Amino acid sequence: MKRFQRGIAHVPTTYFLSYDTDEKGNIVINEKEAAVVRRIFSEYLAGKGASLIAKGLMRDYILTARGNKKWTADAVQKILKNEKHCGNTVTSKTITVDYLSHKRIRNDGREQQYFIKNHHPAIISEEEWEAVQQELKRRNKMLRDPDGKYAQNYSNRSYFSNKLYCGECGHPVVRRRLSSQKNGEKYYFTAWQCRTRIHPKIYVADCKARYIRESALEEAFMKALHDLKEEKDQVTSEVNEIIAEYDLSDMEKARLIIVEEQLDTINNRIHELTENRNSTIADVYEANIRHLYYEQEALQAELEDLHEKQEESKHLKSN
Residue ranges of the domains in the chain?
A: 1-141, 154-225, 231-319
* pLDDT (0 to 100) of residue 145: 57
The domain 1-141: what is its CATH number? 3.90.1750.20
Q: Chain-centre distance of CA 61, in angstroms?
A: 25
- Strands 115-116, 103-106: pairing kind: unpaired
Position with higher pLDDT, 109 vs 14:
14
Q: Which residue has the higher pLDDT, 192 or 297?
A: 192
Q: Is 89 helix (H, G, I), strand (E, B) or coil?
A: strand
pLDDT at residue 285 tops 70 = no
Using pLDDT thresholds of 50, 70 and 90, give the confidence band for residue 37: very high
pLDDT tens per residue across span 301-316: 888 888 878 777 776 7
258 closest CA partner among 302, 308, 314, 313: 302
- Find the helix packing angle between 126-141 and 31-45, rounded to 10°: 50
Is residue 154 within 8 A of residue 162, CB to CB? The reply is yes
What pLDDT, on a 0 to 100 scale, did the predictor assign at position 69?
A: 93
**Top-confidence residue, 1 or 208:** 208
Higher pLDDT, 156 or 180: 180
The pLDDT tens digits of the residues spanning 135-161 come to 898 888 776 655 656 777 787 778 888
Q: How confident is the model at residue 89 (pLDDT cuts 50, 70, 90)?
A: confident
CB neighbours (10 Å) of residue 48? 19
pLDDT at position 60, please?
A: 95
Residue 29 near residue 21, CB atoms below 8 Å: no
Query: Please, which pLDDT band fits residue 58 given cuts at 50, 70 and 90?
Result: very high
Instruction: Give Cα 97 distance to the centre of its chain.
Output: 30
Residue from 120, 129, 126 nearest 21 by CA:
120
Using DSSP's 3-state secondary structure scheme, residue 105 falls into: strand
Distances (CA, A) of 212 to 26, 174, 277: 59, 10, 70
